[in-house]
Structure 1
Amino acid sequence: MPHTVKLKQPLLIRVRKIKGQSEALEKALLHDADCSAILQQIAAIRGAVNGLMSEVLEGHIREHLGVDNIAPEQRKNDLEQVVSVVKRYLK
């Protein structure tokens, strides 16, 4: 069972919080909120997304690269996949 299925509820809670923060940012922009409040909301969203990414990435690494019974070629493919995702995320 994939780690995202095992952790479905906590991950969905995180996603829903991010959705709420995003909606709050949209409302702040629509209502001409103070710039510092908008910046604070953007920082909160970024932190929430980073936390979500960290949790899913850790689970992926532990499940796909941290196991002993994986073929070297599969480990190499999984590693390249993780490196590719991290590079895109950090752009």
Structure 2
Amino acid sequence: MSHTVRQKEKLIARVRRIRGQMEGIERALDTEAACAEVLRQLASVRGAMNGLTAEVMEDHLRQHVLAAETDAARRDGGEELVEVIRTYMK
């Protein structure tokens, strides 16, 4: 069972909080809130996304690399993580 399935409810709750933050940004823009307020909200969403990304990456590393049952599975898990990190860093 994948780590994202085991932690499904926790991860979905985090995504829903992020969605709420994004809706707050939309409301702030719609009501012409001060740009400093919008920037603060954007920074909060970015932090929340970074936290969620880090959690899923860490869980992937722990399950698919550190706890992999075979060398081939460990290599595959590591290569998947390298690809994700490259995409994330763009």
Q: How does the TM-score come out when normalised to structure 2?
A: 0.93
Corresponding pairs, count: 90
SS of the residue aligned with 2:66? coil
1:39 maps onto 2:35 in alignment:
no
Letter matched to residue 20 of structure 2? G
**What fraction of aligned residue pairs are identical, expressed as a percent?**
43
> In angstroms, what is the RMSD of aligned CA positions?
1.1
- Alignment-derived partner of residue 66 in structure 1: 66
Q: 1:89 to 1:68 in 2, by over 3 A?
A: closer
Please identify runs of 4+ aligned residues in structure 1 that moved more than 6 A: none
1:10 maps onto 2:18 in alignment:
no
Give the gaps of 5 or more residues in structure 1.
none
Instruction: Give the distance between the partners of 2:28 and 2:9, measured in 1 at CA.
Output: 28
Letter matched to residue 32 of structure 2? D
| Higher RCO (C-alpha 8 Å, min separation 6) | 1
Q: How does the TM-score come out when normalised to structure 1?
A: 0.92
- Alignment-derived partner of residue 87 in structure 1: 86
Give the gaps of 5 or more residues in structure 2.
none
Deviation of residue 9 (structure 1)?
1.1
Deviation of residue 68 (structure 1)?
5.2
Deviation of residue 69 (structure 1)?
2.1
Instruction: Give the distance between the partners of 1:20 and 1:68, measured in 2 at CA.
Output: 36
